Amino acid sequence: MNSARKFNITINGNDYAVEIMKIHEGLATVEVNGTVYEVAFEAEKKVSKTPTLIRTPAYATESERPQSTAKPRDNVGKRVKAPLPGVILELNVREGDSVKAGQVLLIMEAMKMENNIVAPIDGKVQTLRVSKGDNVLEGDVLVEIGG
């Protein structure tokens, strides 16, 4: 940064004519009453009150992207998980009910759409971990089905 800034300052009753001639990467060239000095300094870092936005990384291929959504294959077996964050709208089964593979266990709203959550296997509802109106996160266990 090249710029000329002139100041008249008084220190302990003595007057000084100061000209800042050049500032570059922590080194300033200043002239005080006709004498040139090289002055090293450490700049004060400004703290921004505005939060810094940190974006998630972009991935070049689909295989690089972490797989965080519960896939149908994740629901094979006893635990039925939420595929997305949402709200439970309806419960179609109770603990102890027998269910068939493909039967709608509950309906949840996710991203302004109703989603049918179905039984992945035949069996009996052992544990119903949600109630109507509950908010669930992606991957939360909704229902446990036993043989």
Q: pLDDT band at residue 25, thresholds of 50, 70 and 90?
A: confident
Please report, for the chain, the start and end positions of each structural domain, with discontinuous segments joined by +. Answer: 2-40, 72-146
Query: What does the pLDDT look like over 130-144, one tens digit per residue?
Result: 999 999 999 999 999
3-state helix, strand, coil in the chain (%, to 5): 5, 50, 45
CB-CB neighbours of 107 under 10 Å: 17
Q: pLDDT band at residue 70, thresholds of 50, 70 and 90?
A: low
**Predicted local confidence at residue 71, as pLDDT:** 58
pLDDT: is 31 or 77 the higher one?
31
Within 13 Å and on the Cβ side, how many CA atoms surround 126? Answer: 12
Phi, psi of 38 (to 5 degrees): -100, 120
From the candidate CATH numbers 3.40.50.150, 3.30.70.260, 2.40.128.260, 2.40.50.100, the one assigned to the domain spanning 72-146: 2.40.50.100
